[in-house]
Amino acid sequence: MVRRSFRFGLRLGLLGGAGFALMKVLQARRDEREQEAALRSTEPWPPITPAPGPAHQPSSPPGAAPTPGPQPEAAPPPPVAVRPDSAEPPPRQAVATKEAEATWVDPEGRVCPPSHPIKGKLKSHLFHAPGMFAYDRTIPDRCYASEEEAEADGLSRARR
């Protein structure tokens, strides 16, 4: 009895699977035909008509003259700062840029130079030190001399 119900279930499952596969194939064919028909369409696009503006409804009868409302006052022009020609501009302070403070070097292919062994990945914001689990397979974006420099650049130490 168990063997008989197992065979029945097996046949029913195979029949259901075959029916499902057939249904998916037919749906895929129908979708392909619909896409091809949409691409082959030769009907012109409908013309674009401008949107109608809001209807103007006067509040007074057509023969009456409009009453002037209060006119807004013109704002005075903003004051212009004039610098005397004899005054020299203040000395510019040196602006420190990230390029000037860069403590990293570009990698040489997939390896970092011996002077900068820490591998940094910008996408994951992680750095890998020598001896860590994924150090050998990490393709670096930047190489750092120490972990502190990598952390100062915004990267975090990888967990393993």
DSSP letter for each residue of 16-69: HHHHHHHHHHHHHHHHHHHHHHHHT--PPPPPP-PPPPPPP--SS-TTSPPPP-
Q: How confident is the model over 10-20, as pLDDT tens digits?
A: 999 999 999 99
Q: 126: closest CA among 99, 101, 144, 108?
A: 144
Whether pTM exceeds 0.85: no
Q: Domain segments of the chain: what residues? A: 1-40, 104-157
What is the model's pLDDT at position 151?
95
pLDDT digits (tens, 9 = 90+) for 67-97: 666 666 666 666 666 665 555 555 555 444 4
pLDDT at 51: 76
